[in-house]
Every structure is written in C-alpha cells, then in structure tokens.
C-alpha cells in the first residue's frame, strides 16, 4: 500500500521539530512530527519538514535523521515571534515553501501533511500548486479550547476560529487524534464525516519503559523513601498545574506528617501568556506555603524524562483541555499510573481505574482526595502500574505510521488539479 508514496511534505509553520518540547510552543505536536517522520523515513519515504527559521544561525536545511530534512524557511524576523504575529508571516512562509519545491521536477511530493491551523493555509496553496492531496492535523481546536479556559486565560481569537474553518473546508482529509476530536470536527466545524479519519498518536516504547524507581531517584537526586508526584509539560493555564499545587497544599494541611516525605516535581517551562510571567507557578507555591515541597525542573530530553516518570509514584495531568496527552501515555509506559482530568483525549489516553484515575472537573479537593488515596495504598498503585504498562503498550508510533500511510494512500485517490494561479 505504501509503495505509492515516496515523498511527504510536512508543514509545521509555528514551531520547529528542532525545538525542545515542554516549553514555549513546542510540545506533543513536535514530538508527533519527529517520531512519524523518522518512522516514515525508515520505510524508505523521504520527509521534508517545512518550518519557520527562528535563528539566523540555522542553515536552510538541517538533517534530522536519514531521510528527514528540516527546511528552515525565512519568514519574518528570526527571533521567536508570538503566535499572534505569525498570521502576518504566512505569505513569506508560503512563498518559501513554493520556492523550495520549484527547484525539483513537478510532482516531487506525493502528499502534503500540515499541522496546526497556521500551517493549513500554506498547505492549501501548495496543494493547488503541486496538484497533490492535503492532509491536515489540527492538534487543538480553538472552539474546544475556548469552552475550557481557566479564569485568567485569554480566549483564542476569532481569526484562529475562522482560519480553522477554512482549513476544515479545504483539506482533502482531516486527521483527528481521538474519536472525540473527530466528532468535534464534524459537530463544531461542520466537517464532512467522510473526510475525517482518526489516527491515534503513539509513544516510543523503547525510551518509555518500566525501570528501577530507586535508580531513577538516585540519578535525579530524589529521596529514596519520599512520595513523589510529577507534573510534566508546558506550563500554562490550560495544563492547570495550579490544580496540582492547590491539591498538594490541601493534602499537606490534612496530613501534617506528610511534609518532609513528599516531593512534587514540575518538569517543563512557561508557554503561552505564562511566558510573560515565568515565575507565576513558583509564586503560587510560595503563596500556598509549599515552596519547600515543589521542585521545578527545566524541560529535558525524553530519555531523561523517562527517569522522572520512573521515579514518580503518580503523574498528574489536570489539563482543562487536551487533544490527546502524550505525557499521560509516556508515564504509563514507564509503569507510573496517572491521575488526570477526564478532559478531551485524556479519556482515551488513561483507562479509569485500570491504568490511573480520571477526575471530573478541576476541584483541587477531588485531586487531593484521589492522590492521598493512591499514596496511602501501595498495592493499589502497583495494580494500576501493571494496568498502565498494558494500556500504554496499545499505543506505538509504528501503528500510528501504519494508519497514516493508509490515510495518505486514500488521500492520493483524490484528484487534485494543478493550478498555477493560486499562490
Ligand atoms: N516533553 C519533553 N520534555 C519535557 C517536557 C515534555 O520532551 O521536559 C515532551 C513529552 O515527552 C511529550 C510532549 O512534550 O511528548 C508533550 O506532549 P503532550 O501531548 O502531553 O502535551 P502538548 O504539549 O502537546 O500540549
């Protein structure tokens, strides 16, 4: 089936696959693009990833892995631009993408796969110019995000909603991470159900695997006998790390003997508007009187992240909205149960009462109660840990790629007429 596809153009305008995930705009989408590209290349399919150059020091092309090139397109000033400024750079970016392809024979790429709404517009122009099908992954949806905002968060602008509607209209196939997201594309954006495919993201089961918690704690300089709770990811209101801190403050107030025996590790960096207030979470910890309990760590590469998961008793993912939640699956793959909000993709990523606990809403009291129950009951944790490994094993990037290839092949059946006037 896959032999018809030789080259894929992947478009990720607003964030580069070369960036470290876990801070700024780099997160699960970056991981998705890299993992998929490497596996497509391993099957003999060349992947070019088009992204916006964020530094003058970047060469026009970086080889990410054999068969995977990152094309750093100059569009606007090199420094990191705020997402709100990026729509103004779409023209430059699009012409950079078209110029690259123009250096090849016509028909160089077989399919264009764009990620996040900002990449949809250049992908649509490329689709028309190159006469190839366009597959689009939204990753997050503004209409969904806007219904789950924290009190102090800023709604996604109307411009993005409109942009997403245009992408839904113009893509040949839309990819959703979960059935839930597929339903949202149909119900909220009016997508044609026959053009929506669900492909689950994966987890790198060779990096994220169970291992010795004692060894991991030693490496990370964590006390061997403490309870360890873990939060991993971009620090922004939507991820709700504040819910974890408030829950911990409650637990400590109710169980004084816990102080000195509990560590809360927060691994990740500020993202979204939290970038203008990078110390906000530290301030909250101080305000709640738990600064001595919380350890803040900068984002780290995935092999080190696996050590954090192994060292933890429970990973907490209290997100207000989550299109999938790779962190939850990675933690489970390492044998660490997850306490998560029953929101979006987390309902797929975590199996309630089997691999972790899903909590309705974001009341810190509910989280405190569940976390305390888990910390106090090692046998329950051990059972969930076994369930977590089993559940995570059902997600692998190889099956993601297998499904993607059938989607690409299906998309290639769509007749796209080359147009020379669209750019
Ligand atoms: N991540 C990482 N290092 C860090 C923190 C996070 O590599 O220090 C990665 C993590 O392994 C996961 C991704 O960032 O694959 C976050 O994905 P998720 O779907 O949980 O959240 P998103 O960022 O997409 O909202």
Whether this model's ipTM surpasses 0.90 comes out as yes
Ligand 1 mean position to 84 CA, how many Å? Answer: 22
Ligand 1 binding pocket mutation candidate from 24, 177, 232 (most atoms within 8 A of CB):
232
Residue 119: closest CA among 154, 77, 73: 73
| DSSP assigned state of 81 | P
For ligand 1, atom 8, name the residue with the nearest CA: 299
Pairwise CA distance, residues 180 & 381, whole Å: 28
By CB neighbour count within 10 A (0-12 exposed, 13-18 middle, 19+ buried), where does 48 fall?
buried
Ligand 1 mean position to 301 CA, how many Å? Answer: 10
Ligand 1 mean position to 327 CA, how many Å? Answer: 6
Q: Which atom of ligand 1 is nearest to the CA of 324?
A: 19
Ligand 1 mean position to 298 CA, how many Å? Answer: 12
CB 251 within 8 A of CB 258: yes
With a Cβ cut-off of 6 Å, ligand 1 is lined by 21-22, 27-29, 31, 232-234, 267-268, 299-300, 302, 305, 324-327, 330
Helix residue spans in 106-178 (DSSP H): 117-130, 142-145, 158-170
Instruction: Please state whether beta strands 111-115 and 134-137 pair in parallel, antiparallel, or not at all (unpaired).
Output: parallel
CB 214 within 8 A of CB 292: no
pLDDT the model gives residue 154: 87
Q: Which atom of ligand 1 is nearest to the CA of 322?
A: 25
User: Is 417 annotated among the ligand-binding residues?
Assistant: no
**284 HSE (CA, 13 A, CB side):** 21
Q: Which atom of ligand 1 is nearest to the CA of 299?
A: 8
Q: Which atom of ligand 1 is nearest to the CA of 297?
A: 8
User: Is 27 annotated among the ligand-binding residues?
Assistant: yes
Instruction: Render pLDDT for 109-147 as a digit per residue (tens, 0 to 9).
Output: 999 999 999 999 999 999 999 999 999 999 999 999 999
Pairwise CA distance, residues 181 & 174, whole Å: 11
Task: State pTM to two decimals.
Answer: 0.95
pLDDT the model gives residue 177: 95
For ligand 1, atom 24, name the residue with the nearest CA: 28
Terminal C-alpha separation, the chain? 32
Q: Which helix (H) or strand (E) holds 418?
A: none
Residues in Cβ contact with 76 at an 8 Å cutoff, skipping those fewer than 6 apart? 52, 85, 88, 89, 92
pLDDT the model gives residue 420: 62
Instruction: Please state whether beta strands 61-65 and 68-73 pair in parallel, antiparallel, or not at all (unpaired).
Output: antiparallel
pLDDT the model gives residue 264: 98
Ligand 1 mean position to 21 CA, how many Å? Answer: 6
Q: How far apart, in Å, are the Cα atoms of 56 and each of 52, 97, 376?
A: 11, 18, 53
User: Is 207 annotated among the ligand-binding residues?
Assistant: no
| Sign of the Cα pseudo-torsion (21, 24, 27, 31, in order) | negative
* Token digits of residue 198: 């669900």
User: Is 20 annotated among the ligand-binding residues?
Assistant: yes
Ligand 1 mean position to 137 CA, how many Å? Answer: 17
CB neighbour burial string for 345-357, b if at least 16 within 10 angstroms, e if fewer: bbbbbbbeeebbb
State which residues of the chain have pLDDT below 70. 1-3, 273-275, 420-423
Ligand 1 mean position to 420 CA, how many Å? Answer: 40
The radius of gyration of the chain's CA atoms, rounded to the nearest angstrom, is: 22
Instruction: Render pLDDT for 138-175 as a digit per residue (tens, 0 to 9).
Output: 999 999 999 988 887 889 999 999 999 999 999 999 99
CB 342 within 8 A of CB 366: no
pLDDT the model gives residue 423: 42
Phi/psi at 210 (5° precision): -65, 155
């Amino acid at each position: 089936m896959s032999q018809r596809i030789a080259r894929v153009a992947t478009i990720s305008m607003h964030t580069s696959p070369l960036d470290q995930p876990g801070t700024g705009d780099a997160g699960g989408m970056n991981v998705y693009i890299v993992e998929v590209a490497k596996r497509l290349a391993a099957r003999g399919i060349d992947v070019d990833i088009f992204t916006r150059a964020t530094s003058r020091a970047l060469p026009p092309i970086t080889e990410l892995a054999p068969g995977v090139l990152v094309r750093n397109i100059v569009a606007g000033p090199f420094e990191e631009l705020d997402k709100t400024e990026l729509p103004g750079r779409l023209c430059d970016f699009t012409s950079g993408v078209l110029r690259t392809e123009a250096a090849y024979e016509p028909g160089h790429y077989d399919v264009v796969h764009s990620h996040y709404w900002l990449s949809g517009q250049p992908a649509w122009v490329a689709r028309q110019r190159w006469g190839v099908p366009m597959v689009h992954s939204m990753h997050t949806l503004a209409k969904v995000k806007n219904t789950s905002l924290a009190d102090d968060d800023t709604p996604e602008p109307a411009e993005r909603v409109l942009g997403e509607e245009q992408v839904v209209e113009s893509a040949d196939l839309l990819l959703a991470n979960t059935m839930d997201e597929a339903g949202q594309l149909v119900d909220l954006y009016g997508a044609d159900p026959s053009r929506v495919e669900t492909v689950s993201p994966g987890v790198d089961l060779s990096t994220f695997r169970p291992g010795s918690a004692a060894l991991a704690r030693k490496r990370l300089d964590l006390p061997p006998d403490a309870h360890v709770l873990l939060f991993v990811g971009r620090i922004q209101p939507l991820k709700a790390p504040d819910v974890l801190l408030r829950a911990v403050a409650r637990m400590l107030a109710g169980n004084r003997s816990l102080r000195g025996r509990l560590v809360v590790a927060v691994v990740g960096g500020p993202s979204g508007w939290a970038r203008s207030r990078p110390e906000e979470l530290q301030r909250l910890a101080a305000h709640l009187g738990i600064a001595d309990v919380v350890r803040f760590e900068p984002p780290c590469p995935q092999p080190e992240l696996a050590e954090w998961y192994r060292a933890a008793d429970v990973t907490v993912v209290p997100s207000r909205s989550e299109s999938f939640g790779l962190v939850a699956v990675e933690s489970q793959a390492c044998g660490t149960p997850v306490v998560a909000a029953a929101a979006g993709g987390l309902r797929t990523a975590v199996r309630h009462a089997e691999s972790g606990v899903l909590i309705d809403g974001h009341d810190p009291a509910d989280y405190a109660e569940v976390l305390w129950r888990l910390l106090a009951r090692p046998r329950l944790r051990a059972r969930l840990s076994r369930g977590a490994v089993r559940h995570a094993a059902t997600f692998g990037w190889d099956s993601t790629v297998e499904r993607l290839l059938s989607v690409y092949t299906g998309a290639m059946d769509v007749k796209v007429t080359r147009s020379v006037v669209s750019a």
